[in-house]
Amino acid sequence: MTANESPPYRIDPLSAHHDRAAFASGVEPLDRYLRTQAGQDSRRRVASCFVLTRADEPAQVLGYYTLSALSIALTDLPSAVAKRLPRYPVVPATLMGRLATDSRHRGKRLGELLLFDACARVLKSATFIARERYSRGPGVRTDPASPGAGQHRLATTSRPA
């Protein structure tokens, strides 16, 4: 890619022009969620859904993820993390509730691209929300729907110096 070329992919908030019906991850609950529930959750501000598309085909959804607010009991965190946080009963975090890629595009590392984008959005939001309250950045929790989706349950990200 040269300096004058645009990137081949885009990740944007879900909108009406995205073709949700054609998306097929092979995991029916994730496909059904995108088709029937994601738009409602976004409008109700329950979860934000972000979709990956090709820059030259902005309606075709190649993958998606959702983010929502979450509170985690301090006692549920690893002690090494909990000891650096204020002694509140719960601490704020972000839940990545869903992450899926279209099965026709497997092997292209699109899931990694979506995960990196989600983490970048969480870090960016931390610069505006409660940034100075903690010595570390925000927590991100994932709940993999399938065994191959990953094993990470909780990760903390470093705050930039």
| 22 within a domain of the structure (yes/no) | yes
- CATH code of residue 129: 3.40.630.30
Indicate the SS3 state at residue 73.
strand
Q: What is residue 152's predicted lDDT score, i.e. its pLDDT?
A: 37
Residue 161 lies in a domain: no
User: Residue 130's pLDDT is what?
Assistant: 57
Evaluate whether residue 1 is within a structural domain.
no
Which stretches of the chain score pLDDT less than 50?
1, 131-138, 150-161
Q: What is the pLDDT of residue 155?
A: 39
3-state secondary structure 21-64: CCCCCCCHHHHHHHHHHHHHHHHCCCCEEEEEEECCEEEEEEEE
Q: Determine if the pTM surpasses 0.85.
A: no
Determine the length of the chain. Answer: 161
If 0-12 CB within 10 Å is exposed, 13-18 middle and 19+ buried, where does residue 112 land?
A: exposed
Q: Is residue 49 part of a domain?
A: yes
Domain that holds residue 74: 9-156
How many folded domains does the chain comprise? Answer: 1
Instruction: Give pLDDT tens digits for 71-82.
Output: 888 888 888 888
Q: Which residues of 116-154 are buried (b: 16+ CB within 10 A; e: fewer)?
A: ebbbebbbeebeeeeeeebeebbbbbbeebeeebeeeee
Output the pLDDT for position 144.
Answer: 58
Q: What is the pLDDT of residue 134?
A: 44
